[in-house]
A = this chain, B = another copy of it.
């Protein structure tokens, strides 16, 4: 049995006690952008209830065109007004460089990715980089709040990054 099959078994139990459906627009008008890291259970870390907030995640919790796309849809079509950015300690993105990662892929496949891997070596600087990419976007402009945090995987605490 694959792990996927185990998770589908879990879903049967989830569906058994499920009460829905909730409305489509996020009821608390918040969008979260966080790292994909397995230790970040974003709903629990922030105490999000079902239906409250959009949750966007990728390697690093960085802002690329795809996060701008998601945030533009979130704000313009579904009315979110606050953005919460979450990076975290012990992040995989701190453990390699773009050059080495892309070289390894090229050596393995013969093809060098056309995209940046978005590795970084300073967590707080990269949170500020994400803030600035959003501030520089002409498409994500409807928010009233934009704040960035580092989640500490040892303590469970969110620490705000000052600009």
A→B interface (CB under 8 Å): 2-4, 7-15, 18, 20-22, 24-31, 36-41, 43-48, 50-59, 64-70, 72-74, 76-78, 82, 84, 90, 92-93, 95-96, 101, 104-105, 109-111, 113-118, 138-139, 141, 144-145, 147, 153-158
Question: What's the minimum C-beta distance from A114 to chain B, rounded to whole angstroms?
Answer: 8
Max chain B C-beta neighbours (<10 A), residue from A26, A38, A84: A38
A15: chain B residues within 8 A (beta carbon): 155-157
Residue in chain B with minimal CB distance to A156? B18
Knowing that A38-B48, A38-B52 touch, tell me 6 more A-B residue pairs with CB under 8 angstroms: A2-B82, A9-B47, A10-B46, A11-B45, A40-B55, A76-B105
